[in-house]
Structure 1
Amino acid sequence: MKSKYIINFEFNQYKNKIIYLKSGFYVKVNFYSNLDVKKKIFFTGIIISVRNKGISSSILVRKVLNNNEGVEKMFFIYSDNIIKIDILKKYLFNKSKLYNIRKKLNKIVKFT
């Protein structure tokens, strides 16, 4: 069980807005690269999974390239490296984890 000090510390580390994200959202994530702080990069794709663990919440975003190869990247939502997360489209799925999308590459290309 967490102590009051840890809960208070984690609550103060949240950014201004608590972001509501769900698997199936098509998002654009703006973030700073790990190598150079001044370089801004964006990554667009479909959220495959959302892990809600308080301050260490994370999302797994999958992007499909032109040659039907997929790239997955994991982002911590409340990290200082993330500038902004924009929700571009909302797709409705019945599952909370969309790991089966990896096998169906051609259908995902039609989404975007």
Structure 2
Amino acid sequence: LDVPCKVVITAPEGEDPHPRFGKVEMSHAKHRNVSCVSCHHMFDGCGDFQKCADCHIDRDDRSYERGFYKAWHSESEISCRGCHKAMKAKNEQTGPIGCLQGCHEAAQK
């Protein structure tokens, strides 16, 4: 598999990003000890990985568990925030949990 060093999460093509929350850069290298299917939970071992936005298409309802926003922000351990919060609860070293303290900080500069 061709794994990019860095993934940039941004508004889907054709949509304007939120002015306060810009793109988020995620390092695959920092996640090398995490199984690919932990995040790419629909991957069955065949073909290419899909982008989150291919399935998480509802952009308007932030409370919808299968929506675009929740793909990264839900309490589920298959979302970025959910995984980081679970690690923090176990006193493990983790990535950012707060919006502007690590994830969306680039938008604030």
Does TM, normalized by the shorter one, top 0.5?
no
Q: TM-score range by the shorter chain?
A: under 0.3
Greater RCO, 1 or 2 (C-alpha within 8 Å, sep 6+): 1
What's the TM-score, normalizing by structure 2? 0.25
More strand by share: 1
What's the TM-score, normalizing by structure 1? 0.24
More helix by share: 2
